[in-house]
Amino acid sequence: MTTTITICDTCKREGWAETSAEITDGEALASLIEQAAEGRVKTRRTSCLMGCTHGCNIAIQSEGKLAYTLGRFEATREDAEAIVDYAELHQQSESGQVPYRTWPAGVKGHFITRHPPLPKTDEPS
């Protein structure tokens, strides 16, 4: 099952307005993740994951697997690579759970939420 990284492209880190940047921190991070993810995992952008106090935010998702929201990233190649490396581990996992000992250092301390997979539509709730 393919894992997708959903990237909030409207995230602005504290102090963004003072930088006079032409693009948001989220747009900058999205570009870096898209480059790092090419041929490895899927990516998509969304406008607002509603985690503004944790920006920059991303979600790691795949059908039938645990999903995660991560935040407090900067628009750096190192953060983008760590996100994509973790997404690959998620993709390789049957349940979406990745053993802590294998997490890239760059994602440790960035997890905000974990969501259980949705039940199949034919399963009783």
Domains defined for the chain, CATH in brackets:
4-115 (3.40.30.10)
Q: Are strands 67-70 and 58-61 parallel, antiparallel or unpaired?
A: antiparallel
Q: What's the pLDDT at 123?
A: 61
DSSP class of residue 125 equals -
Count CA within 13 A, CB hemisphere, residue 66. 16
**Distance from chain centroid for Cα 58:** 3
Verdict on whether the full-model pTM lies above 0.85: yes
Confirm if 69 and 49 have CB atoms less than 8 A apart: yes
State the sign of the Cα–Cα–Cα–Cα dihedral 61, 52, 38, 110: negative
pLDDT in tens, the chain (125 residues): 799 999 999 888 777 667 777 888 899 999 999 999 999 999 999 999 998 888 899 999 999 999 999 999 999 999 999 999 999 999 999 999 999 999 999 999 999 999 999 887 766 65
